[in-house]
Structure 1
Amino acid sequence: MLKPADLPVESRWRASVLEAVADTGRFRVARPVRAASGDWLHGGWEAWRHAEGRTDPKRWDDALDAGAAFHEALAGVARPAFLDDRDDWWSRADRVSWDLEAVEEHPTLEPLMRARRPVGAAAQAVHGDLLGNVLYAPGLPPAVIDWAPYWRPAGWAAAVAVVDALCWHGAGGSLLAGAERSDWPQMLLRALLFRMITDREAGRAGGGEWHPHPAYAPVAALVIAAAASGA
């Protein structure tokens, strides 16, 4: 499988990490392939071995389990320096959603921003787009693919998957339950802000005025209620 390398330093780092991650009974990964030169890139492209399976974003429980196992395997990985310089819609949205000094005056974003509080959960390397990037095949553990690396608590990565399931794939509000995860309501707030602000950044790039998708409003109400109750 070939992919364009949008940020070469990120592509090389991701390949070097995944080359060393061991598959387990709970997850597997697509393995990177070196070019004939020995580099992970050639002509602006990266290569990965085909991983058997198909995506199914309605299998959110399985994706969360696979993500938890994947993040356990990444717990000792050092923070990569390229995250400080990466500048795209997603990275900007991630920084704003975590910046407690940031102010958003949009009526949908502002209540979410105000509900944020400091968190104590430790950051690590995580997958920031998990739900649609897990493959399922009979007789095999789920395969985690297309790793979008961020340096956030593992609970935040789970919260992004939960928000995606609620907004786009018909999950019920019971999926918000996550008392065993550290700072869970705060992770949900930041995850939803991350998705919404990314959409806004994309709208700005297109030169249009941003109007939040209607799917966000009911999920925002649930997340704000969870933060208010501390559940």
Structure 2
Amino acid sequence: MLPADHVLDLFAVPGDVRPLPGGRGGSVLAGDLVLSPGRDARVADLLDPTLARLAVALDTRPGRRAQDLRIAVPVPARDGSWVVDGWGASRFEPGTRACTDLPVLRATGAVLHAELALAVRSWPPAQQPPRHRWDVAERVAFGAADRLDETPVGSDEVPSATADLVHELLRARTDHPIGPDQLVHGDLAGNVLIDPAGAPVVIDLSPYWRPALWAEAVCVLDAVMWLGVVQEWTSGAQREAMLRAGIFRLVADQPEDPEPYRRALGALLSLSRP
């Protein structure tokens, strides 16, 4: 799906667009902007002005080093709106490449979440009903869903093997604290680029009001799904965060084959068995 002519007109970009890989899928390059579909205007109105200010502040901060964190700047349309027919825009970052280095991803998340904790003191959508399966998955992971049988867990929409693994993780979950809630990027892996100077550039922020350690756990789980057990995350708060990351991903992604997740999370489950 490509943006309609009036979307391009409001963002003041030419009509010759080309698809871009990565991100949430469906993004296109139009002039010097990246246009991305499926944006929620209510969320963008709350988030994008803050992100734009933070992005500029990071780029112009005194003493900034070339490799310091950057954020792709959200750009409003000519009428001042941040979303037009579901399309949002951000500044294109030429010469970037996808970041596949897990330590860099984790370090980027740590700096980003420290900045977000200072910039955003509350997140009203956290108190609103879930709007899609990612919201439902996040609520299930933290025990905030009223009843599991009213969620995709155990329903016909989720393969039974995946539902079984979700319930194993739910039984293994405890009340161990994993940190205070704040605005976090819940889909960091795959949404960090490296610019020509070596700076990480964060794109497509998926906002949740949860502990930063949980967001890091989701990032780690996504990054090492095909590399085996997550050895460093088997005890204490890190284990608890990873359990909830596993629940979140399984409920949100609904994989036909959950075995890669079981292999990655097997050590966490074995620790909960007598």
- Give the alignment's TM-score, normalised by structure 1: 0.82
CA contact (8 A) 1:79 1:124 kept: yes
C-alpha change, 1:226 and 1:28, in structure 2 (3 Å) is farther
C-alpha change, 1:227 and 1:161, in structure 2 (3 Å) is farther
CA deviations on 1:65-85 (whole Å, 9 max, x unpaired) are 111100000013123222323
Shift of 1:102: 5.5
Matched, 1:137 2:195: yes
Task: Give the counterpart of 2:267 among 222, 227, 230.
Answer: 222
The alignment-based identity, stated in percent, is 31
Counterpart AA for 1:35: A
CA distance in structure 1 between the aligned counterparts of 2:70 and 2:236, rounded to whole angstroms: 25
Matched, 1:171 2:231: no
Q: For residue 165 of structure 2, what is the aligned residue in structure 1? A: 108
Tell me how large the CA RMSD over aligned residues is: 2.6
CA distance in structure 2 between the aligned counterparts of 1:30 and 1:144, rounded to whole angstroms: 6
Matched, 1:80 2:123: yes
Shift of 1:5: 4.5
Shift of 1:49: 0.3
CA distance in structure 2 between the aligned counterparts of 1:199 and 1:40, rounded to whole angstroms: 28
CA contact (8 A) 1:98 1:190 kept: yes
CA deviations on 1:98-132 (whole Å, 9 max, x unpaired) are 10776566432222111111143101000000010
- Larger RCO (alpha carbons 8 Å, 6+ apart): 1
User: Secondary structure of 2:218's partner?
Assistant: helix
CA contact (8 A) 2:40 2:86 kept: no
CA contact (8 A) 1:97 1:190 kept: yes
User: Secondary structure of 2:88's partner?
Assistant: strand
Matched, 1:193 2:247: yes
C-alpha change, 1:49 and 1:117, in structure 2 (3 Å) is same
Shift of 1:172: 4.8
Q: For residue 204 of structure 1, what is the aligned residue in structure 2? A: none
How many pairs are equivalent?
Answer: 215
CA distance in structure 2 between the aligned counterparts of 1:55 and 1:130, rounded to whole angstroms: 12
CA deviations on 1:136-192 (whole Å, 9 max, x unpaired) are 13323100101000111111011001111221xx4354x54159x971110000001
- Give the alignment's TM-score, normalised by structure 2: 0.70
CA distance in structure 2 between the aligned counterparts of 1:47 and 1:185, rounded to whole angstroms: 37
Structure 1, unaligned runs of 5 or more? 201-209
Structure 2, unaligned runs of 5 or more? 1-33, 59-63, 155-162
